[in-house]
Amino acid sequence: MSDTDKELRVSKIRDGTVIDHVTAGQALNVLAILGIDGSGGESVSIGMNVPSDKLGLKDVVKVEGRELSQSEVDVLSLIAPEATINIIRDFDVIEKNRVERTESVTGILVCPNHNCITNADEPVRTAFAVLEDGVRCSYCGTIVRGGDVAEHIDAHGSGETAL
């Protein structure tokens, strides 16, 4: 397959962010982390199971006119540890960063414990310590296993609302 064919799979963007080398199958979870469900009018392109020299198969997410917050990058590192984040300005990559594994993540994830203070009607931002294989709620100690993290992404992106 030529490079042109590869490019056509996911069109170029003018200004925004390209999240590349996303673990295959995680693209929709990446959108959930970004709080994007289409209702906000963002222009988004997704490539799923795109051939990759590095990963075999990968997903790619391109979001027009949007950059990622540190919280978003932190949670992204949990579900797509090999991801690279490319900041695009006027069709050029002006910055390229690998996601880094962090020690904690705040916001975005929701604690599965319904009795947790973060699920009460309080303006408490969720916080989780990152473990070897999962995360642990900093408030109630509930552990979410690595493979289950994606199920606990707050669709609204704030990490403040109850399930």
Nearest-5° Cα angle at 110, 108 to 114: 160
DSSP label at residue 29: H
Lay out the sheet containing 92-98: strands in order across. 44-52, 56-64, 16-23, 84-89, 92-98
Exactly one of 23, 45, 84, 113 binds Zn ion (CB under 5 A); that residue is 113
Stretch that binds Zn ion, among 16-24, 55-63, 88-96, 129-137 (CB under 5 A): 129-137
Question: Which one, 83 or 116, has the nearer CB to Zn ion?
Answer: 116
137 is in an annotated binding site: yes
112 is in an annotated binding site: no
Q: In angstroms, what is the minimal distance from the CB of 73 to Zn ion? A: 22
Question: Which one, 46 or 116, has the nearer CB to Zn ion?
Answer: 116
Judged by CB under 5 A, the number of residues near Zn ion is: 7
Q: How far apart are CA 110 and CA 87, in angstroms?
A: 28
Exactly one of 88, 111, 127, 150 binds Zn ion (CB under 5 A); that residue is 111
50 binds Zn ion (CB under 5 A): no
Alpha-carbon 134 to chain mean position: 15
Q: In angstroms, what is the minimal distance from the CB of 52 to Zn ion? A: 36
Lay out the sheet containing 134-137: strands in order across. 104-106, 127-131, 134-137, 143-145
124 binds Zn ion (CB under 5 A): no
Name the residue among 157, 20, 31, 4 with its Cα closest to residue 88: 20
92 is in an annotated binding site: no
- Extract the annotated binding site: 111, 116, 137, 140
- Residues contributing to the site for Zn ion (CB under 5 A): 111, 113, 116, 137, 139-140, 142
